[in-house]
Structure 1
Amino acid sequence: MRSLLVIHNQATASDRKSATASKMLLPEHVLRACGYAVTNAHNEESCRKLLPDADGAVLHLPVSDIQAWGTLLLRMKVVPLLWWCSEATATLSVDACEDNVMVDGVLTPSMKPTEIHWALHFGAKQCFERQQWHLERKQLLSKIEERKWIDMAKGILCEIKNITESEAYDLLRKQAMNERKRLVDVATSIVNVYQLIQSEKSERKGGARR
């Protein structure tokens, strides 16, 4: 990780306008002194231009603003998100200290170059593991959804054809093979057609009563 994008906002703008001694503690100065290429952004437009070339994002923000910015950044590109915990951001974050904030690491102005290096290294690892967890969760939810449609289709076939669940599953699988479709796609079609037929029957009954 060699290129970093530092995110500022209005809440931390005062840091950038402070005395020269304080400016030396800003993330861009500290990180450049450690050998990293650093760019700055303060709005969505500048982030879109600069994030593609960045290996990670350093959030010089109050904790309360991290979720919104993190969501925005990760929609553009998956990068490690690290919070810059300075006197200013820590003070601004007091009221949000109990928030469930998802960041991959924390950096401070007092860190030595080797400490920053390892914080970024493990932050990148944390980012990968977080994305892997999200992917596995998405896949699991997808499988649960597919199983729901397949079970519904099996129930319909059992009712219509008076067969067992095992026989209904075999029928679904055979149909999927014949049509060269996924099992869940065949099951979804059966459920949708069945529900449409039932809805039309219900409407005809309602019309007959009137």
Structure 2
Amino acid sequence: MHSLLIIHNSKTRHDTASVSANADHVLRSCGYLIEMATTREEAVSGIREADASILQLPVTEINSWGQLLMAQKTAPILWWCTDETATLSVAACEDNIMVDGILAPSMLAQEIHWSLHFSAKLCFERQQWLKEREQLLSRIEERKWIDMAKGILSKAKHISESEAYELLRKQAMNERKRMVDVATSIVNVYQLLQD
């Protein structure tokens, strides 16, 4: 991981006393290439080349920025936690804040490197879990259609549900369609006839 996109609020003060606490200053001194963004357009453009993004923002702004960034590219998102960005109480933190890690100006270079490394791992695991979740929800939805079609067939043809399942399976093979597509057609026709 070499290139980082730092997103900061243009209203954030950058006086000389806080320069050493700025993510830009600290991360450059650790050897990272830094791109800065203050607007959504700059962030969308900058994330394409970045290996990770650092949000130097109040905790309440993390999720909206995180969603924007993840829509563009799967890359770790870390929060730059300072006195300035952590001014809110713990109550302001939601349970589902979209960050893969937290960095602070007091961290040593080695700590920053390891934090970025583990954040990348967490980011890609989170993406895998989201994909698996989508697949499971899709299978559940397909199962609902198949179960409804089995119920309709068993009632209409006076057969058991296992026989209705076999009938569905054979029909799907004959039509060279997925079972869920045949089941959806049966349910839709049945509902049309009921109306």
Q: TM-score, normalised by structure 1?
A: 0.89
- Match 1:134 to one of 130, 135, 141: 130
Aligned pairs, number: 194
- Match 1:172 to one of 148, 165, 168: 168
Moved over 2 A (4+): 93-98
Q: What SS is found at the alignment partner of 2:98?
A: coil
Which residue in 2 is equivalent to 1:207?
none
Which residue in 2 is equivalent to 1:208?
none
- 5+ residue gaps, structure 2: none
| Aligned pairs for 1:40-189 within 5 A | 40-91=36-87, 93-94=88-89, 96-100=91-95, 101-189=97-185
Report sequence identity in percent: 60
**8 Å contact kept, 1:63–1:96:** no
CA displacement, residues 21-51 of structure 1 (integer Å, 9 cap, x when unaligned): 4212200111111011110111111112111
**2: CA distance between counterparts of 1:8 and 1:123?**
19
Report the CA distance between 1:102 and its aligned residue.
2.6
**8 Å contact kept, 1:85–1:108:** yes
Code of the aligned partner of 2:9: N
Code of the aligned partner of 2:94: D
Larger Rg, first or second structure (1 or 2): 1
**8 Å contact kept, 1:64–1:96:** no
Q: TM-score, normalised by structure 2?
A: 0.95
**2: CA distance between counterparts of 1:55 and 1:9?**
20
| Aligned pairs for 1:190-209 within 5 A | 190-199=186-195
**8 Å contact kept, 2:150–2:165:** yes
**2: CA distance between counterparts of 1:98 and 1:109?**
20
- 5+ residue gaps, structure 1: 200-210
**Higher relative helix content:** 1
**1: CA distance between counterparts of 2:4 and 2:172?**
49
CA displacement, residues 106-136 of structure 1 (integer Å, 9 cap, x when unaligned): 0000111110000000000111111111111
Report the CA distance between 1:63 and its aligned residue.
0.7
Q: What SS is found at the alignment partner of 2:116?
A: helix
**1: CA distance between counterparts of 2:122 and 2:90?**
26
Coordinate RMSD, CA, aligned? 1.2
